[in-house]
């Protein structure tokens, strides 16, 4: 991807050119589930019932398995029951075996992955009320519960002792390693940061999207959500009878919009556990043509080979943070029909000069006097961390530079590694204390739709990214600020970015992670 601009040599000229690097994505596991009728097959025999409640009554009477008792005995919540159902299916557990179990054997995350979708997985187990126990068996139940608690405590104590031993060994290794490093080398803070960091597993990324707060934030973002809805609803003739793939479907809101816009079939894929709630949302809203799949797209077999439209809300801070575009490129190469379209289909990134004295004092000069103490030593490290915040447009001091233009139909996995030679014309006089980054997203359809995330646009949950300078620089209207910005995928975390901005004779490094 060639995104380099022309070199400049005006009022504030940095002669060094920018450079690029490259990196690749990673893979994981998956499992597929499709929505069914409300018919429910018994967990222990082949009988079929109309609804889960009827099946539970049958299991209680015929197989002597009391779900209400299990809920109380093992303190089970909704996810615990989902794991239990998948455990019974995967291990062919009999009613007698289940009755003898004293410890939770289905706590492994693998039991969140079913063989097939079935109505047991979307049943609201919170509706199960505990059955009253009579006095004759109360003592036996209490003894069983006490036995379970004691065994559980013994197991936890043993695990904690093992962890303490391992932690002690690790601490000793760390002390020795640090001594060797400082004894043999004169290492900068940046070098230490690079050496001590390691690749973070994708599990942490997907588990973050299992929390409800992040979905509330995204759905509450009116600009984000209504733009996607408008792109589909205002182009119903284009969407009609199309096959749609929703990558990273989350709560399935975009899948539902696509269905309501007239899509023939919609497949939503997500590796976060939020998918189980999305299944219930689809069912409660009676969306007939949406299939949801739990798993990483890269390792998932989809129910059809090709799609007319691939839709996704993949954008992160500064557009590229989180690296989800990797999955969109994979989906495009494997599943998009010839002549098909990605939505959005184009995104641009921009940078502008900024000068708010109040913002600089609040986040940078703050360290000069903290309750009467000089903590200015913190400045250097703080300056490496871009501020994610909504900033006021009135403090913009330059015209913007479009530093990248990503056509999603052709962009490759090197998208996050690019350089651009800056040439920012000053529109106001003042003190330039930061550069601000933002992005714009386009749905280039018969009825084109777009939204921006600049300080002048209506605020979104992406906000803006503020790259502070160590010292504010005086500028005048008509001046030209030249330099270079380099963006590359972090070598420590494939979903993070390392950014370098050269301007005013200095090189500033930032880590967006």
Q: What is the CATH number of the domain that holds 334?
A: 3.40.50.150
End-of-domain residue from the set 300, 328, 343: 343
Task: For residues 459-476, give the mean pLDDT.
Answer: 93
Residue 408 belongs to some domain of the structure: yes
Domain identity same for 245 and 145 = no
Domain identity same for 482 and 365 = yes
pLDDT for 102: 85
End-of-domain residue from the set 343, 370, 396: 343
- Phi, psi (degrees; rounded to nearest 5) at 67: -65, -35
Q: What is the pLDDT of residues 240-299, one digit of tens each?
A: 999 999 999 988 999 999 999 999 999 999 988 888 889 999 999 999 899 999 988 888
Residue 30 belongs to some domain of the structure: no
Residue 27 belongs to some domain of the structure: no
Domain identity same for 357 and 499 = yes
118 given a catalytic annotation: no
C-alpha–C-alpha distance, residues 342 and 308, integer Å:
9
For 298-349, the DSSP string reads: GG---SSS-EEEEE----BTTBTTT-THHHHHHHHHHHEEEEEEEES-EEEE
C-alpha–C-alpha distance, residues 506 and 509, integer Å:
10
- CA quadruple 184, 189, 195, 196: dihedral positive or negative? positive
Question: What's the CA dihedral at 268, 272, 277, 279 to 10 degrees?
Answer: 30
Q: Which of 184, 322, 381, 399 is flagged as catalytic?
A: 322
Q: What is the pLDDT of residues 418-434, one digit of tens each?
A: 999 999 999 999 999 99
Q: What is the pLDDT of residues 45-100, one digit of tens each?
A: 999 988 888 889 899 999 999 888 888 888 888 778 888 988 888 888 899 888 88
C-alpha–C-alpha distance, residues 282 and 265, integer Å:
14
Contacts of 143 (CB under 8 A, 6+ apart): none
The percentage of residues in the chain with a pLDDT greater than 70, rounded to a whole number, is: 74
Residue 24 belongs to some domain of the structure: no
Domain identity same for 359 and 479 = yes
Q: What is the pLDDT of residues 11-55, one digit of tens each?
A: 445 544 554 333 333 333 343 333 345 789 999 999 998 888 888
Domain identity same for 220 and 74 = no
Residue 10 belongs to some domain of the structure: no
Q: Quick one: three-class SS letters along 37-102?
A: CCEEECCCCCCEEECHHHHHHHHHHHCCCCHHHHHHHHCCCHHHHHHHHHHHHHHCCCHHHHHHCC
Report the Cα 300 to chain-centroid distance in Å: 18
Domain identity same for 303 and 440 = no
Domain identity same for 185 and 295 = no
Residue 34 belongs to some domain of the structure: no
For 279-299, the DSSP string reads: HHHHHHTT-TTEEEEEE-GGG
- Expressed as residue numbers, the domain containing 477 is 346-512
Domain identity same for 356 and 368 = yes
C-alpha–C-alpha distance, residues 195 and 331, integer Å:
34
322 given a catalytic annotation: yes
* Pairing of the two strands 336-343 and 346-354: unpaired
Domain identity same for 394 and 311 = no
Domain identity same for 156 and 55 = yes
C-alpha–C-alpha distance, residues 363 and 379, integer Å:
9
Domain identity same for 191 and 232 = no
Query: Which range, 106-110, 155-159, 284-288, 320-324, has the best average confidence (pLDDT)?
Result: 284-288
End-of-domain residue from the set 343, 378, 398: 343
Say how many domains are in the chain: 3
Task: For residues 435-450, give the mean pLDDT.
Answer: 96
Residue 13 belongs to some domain of the structure: no
For residue 407, the SS3 value is strand
Q: Look at residue 391 and tell me whether its pLDDT is greater than 70.
A: yes
How confident is the prediction for the chain on average, in pLDDT?
A: 80
pLDDT for 97: 86
Q: Would you tell me how many other CB atoms lie within 10 Å of the CB of residue 36?
A: 15
Residue 37 belongs to some domain of the structure: no
Measured CA to CA in angstroms, residue 128 lies from 57, 76, 114, 124, 125 at distances of 12, 11, 22, 8, 5
Q: For residue 501, list its beta bridge partners.
A: 485, 508
Q: Which of 313, 381, 399, 402 is flagged as catalytic?
A: 313
Domain identity same for 169 and 222 = no
């Amino acid at each position: 991807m060639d995104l380099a601009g022309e070199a400049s040599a005006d009022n504030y000229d940095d002669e060094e050119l920018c450079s690029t690097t490259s990196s690749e994505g990673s893979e994981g596991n998956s499992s597929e589930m499709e929505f069914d009728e409300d018919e429910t097959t018994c967990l222990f025999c082949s009988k079929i019932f109309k609804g889960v409640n009827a099946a539970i009554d049958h299991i209680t009477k015929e197989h002597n398995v009391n779900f209400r008792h299990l809920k109380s005995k093992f303190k089970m919540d909704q996810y615990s029951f989902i794991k239990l159902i998948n455990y019974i299916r995967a291990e062919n557990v009999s009613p007698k075996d289940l009755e003898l179990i004293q410890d939770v054997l289905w706590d492994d995350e693998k039991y969140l992955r079913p063989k097939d979708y079935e109505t047991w997985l979307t049943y609201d187990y919170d509706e199960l009320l505990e059955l009253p126990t009579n006095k004759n068996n109360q003592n036996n139940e209490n003894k069983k519960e006490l036995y379970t608690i004691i065994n559980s405590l013994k197991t936890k104590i043993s695990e904690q002792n093992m962890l303490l031993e391992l932690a002690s060994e690790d601490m000793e290794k760390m002390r020795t390693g640090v001594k060797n490093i400082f004894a043999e080398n004169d290492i900068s803070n940046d070098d230490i940061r690079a050496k001590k960091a390691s690749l973070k597993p994708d599990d942490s990324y997907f588990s973050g999207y299992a929390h409800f707060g992040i979905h509330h934030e995204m759905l509450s973002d009116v600009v984000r959500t209504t733009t996607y809805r408008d792109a589909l609803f205002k182009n119903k003739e284009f969407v009609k009878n199309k096959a749609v793939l929703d990558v990273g479907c989350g709560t399935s809101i975009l899948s539902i919009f696509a269905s309501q816009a007239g899509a023939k079939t919609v497949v939503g894929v997500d590796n976060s556990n939020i998918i189980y709630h999305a299944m219930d949302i689809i069912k409660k809203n009676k969306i007939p043509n949406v299939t949801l799949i739990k798993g990483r797209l890269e390792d998932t077999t989809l129910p059809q080979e090709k799609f007319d439209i691939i839709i996704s809300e993949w954008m992160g801070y500064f557009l590229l943070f989180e690296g989800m575009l990797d999955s969109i490129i994979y989906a495009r190469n494997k599943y998009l029909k010839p002549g098909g379209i990605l939505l959005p289909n184009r995104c641009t990134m921009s940078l502008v000069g900024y000068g708010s004295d109040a913002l600089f004092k609040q986040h940078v000069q703050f360290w000069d006097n903290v309750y009467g103490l000089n903590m200015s030593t913190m400045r250097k490290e703080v300056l490496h961390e871009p501020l994610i915040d909504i900033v006021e447009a009135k403090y913009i001091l330059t015209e913007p530079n479009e530093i990248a233009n990503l056509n999603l139909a052709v962009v490759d996995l090197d998208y996050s590694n690019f350089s651009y030679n800056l040439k920012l014309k000053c529109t106001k006089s003042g003190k330039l204390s930061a550069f601000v980054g933002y992005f714009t997203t386009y749905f280039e359809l018969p009825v084109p739709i777009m939204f921006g995330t600049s300080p002048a646009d209506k605020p979104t949950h992406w906000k803006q990214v503020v790259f502070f300078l160590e010292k504010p620089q005086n500028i005048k209207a008509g001046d030209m600020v030249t330099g270079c910005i380099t963006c590359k995928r972090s070598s420590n975390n494939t979903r993070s970015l390392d950014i370098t901005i050269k301007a005013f004779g200095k090189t500033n490094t930032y880590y967006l992670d």
